[in-house]
């Protein structure tokens, strides 16, 4: 299976490293945020992922059952007022849907972990996201992940990925969605920002 816009999964690693670098510009589409220039006074929110050394490199990619991995995730508020955010952590395989930034709709997948964040204008929040794949099995051309441990909490996911012969792996994507509280509707709404990491689950 060929991933959209890229011929090799290695290219995705670079794309999401760039997404971490340019997460502060996530307004319309994370994939094109590098080309955006913010007008003076523009209201926006930041969402980013950094690697385990708190830098924009060495992101986890090849992951193995039972091993622990970590990244830093962050949110910044430049909305010209205090804001209440939720960060949804979600997991998908190669075929499940991402958020639609054109329609400004989130992925229909359920979150496996949720962060609740209140920030004053100009404030930032950052925290380690620790994760490990648990209860992983391989059968023929499919990999089944039974549980994912996130920040010490075991979450049942029961999600399978098919072997990708072109890119040599079983690929899952761990991604974050940013939601913001809307006072008018008295509810949270998708803030049209997301970032993520492709992960190749291996038994080697």
Check if the beta carbon of residue 93 is closer than 8 Å to that of residue 110: no
Token pair of 146 as six digits:
């039974």
What average pLDDT does this structure show over 173-185?
97
Pair 22, 34: CB distance under 8 Å: yes
Average pLDDT, integer, range 166-194: 97
Res 117: pLDDT: 98
What per-residue confidence (pLDDT) applies to 40?
Answer: 52
* pLDDT tens, position by position, 117-143: 999 999 999 999 999 999 999 999 999
Res 153: pLDDT: 97
pLDDT at 37: 36
Q: Which residue has the higher pLDDT, 39 or 30?
A: 39
> Is the Cβ–Cβ distance between 13 and 198 less than 8 Å?
yes
Strand arrangement, sheet containing 44-50? 44-50, 69-78, 124-139, 142-150, 153-162
pLDDT of residue 103: 97
- Burial (CB < 10 A; 0-12, 13-18, 19+), residue 36, is middle
Residue 101 phi/psi, 5° resolution?
-75, -20
For residue 29, pLDDT beyond 90: no
Superfamily of domain 9-128+170-202: Immunoglobulins (2.60.40.10)
Give the pLDDT score at 199: 98
Question: pTM value?
Answer: 0.81
pLDDT tens-place string over residues 71-105? 999 999 999 999 999 999 999 999 999 999 999 99
Average predicted confidence (pLDDT) for the chain:
85
Average pLDDT over residues 18-41: 39
For residue 34, pLDDT beyond 50: no
pLDDT band for position 42 (cuts 50, 70, 90): confident
Q: What are the two backbone dihedrals, phi and then psi, of residue 158, each rounded to the nearest 5 degrees? A: 45, 60
CA distance 131 to 149: 5
pLDDT digits (tens, 9 = 90+) for 143-152: 999 999 999 9
């Amino acid at each position: 299976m060929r991933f959209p816009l890229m011929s090799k999964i290695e290219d995705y690693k670079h794309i999401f490293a760039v997404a971490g670098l340019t997460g502060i510009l996530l307004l319309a589409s994370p994939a094109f945020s590098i080309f955006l220039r913010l007008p003076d006074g523009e209201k926006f929110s930041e969402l980013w992922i950094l690697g385990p050394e708190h830098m924009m490199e060495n992101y986890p990619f090849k992951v193995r059952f039972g091993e622990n991995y970590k990244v830093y995730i962050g949110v910044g508020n430049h909305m010209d007022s205090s804001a209440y955010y939720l960060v949804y952590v979600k997991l998908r395989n190669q075929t499940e849907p991402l958020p639609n930034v054109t329609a400004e709709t989130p992925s229909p997948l359920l979150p496996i972990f949720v962060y609740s964040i209140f920030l004053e204008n100009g404030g930032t929040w950052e925290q380690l996201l620790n994760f490990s794949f648990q209860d992983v099995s391989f059968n023929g051309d499919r990999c089944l992940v039974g549980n994912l441990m996130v920040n010490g909490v075991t979450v049942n996911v029961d999600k399978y990925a098919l072997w990708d012969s072109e890119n040599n792996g079983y690929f899952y994507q761990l991604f974050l969605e940013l939601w913001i509280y809307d006072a008018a509707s008295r509810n949270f709404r998708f803030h049209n920002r997301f970032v993520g990491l492709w992960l190749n689950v291996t038994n080697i």
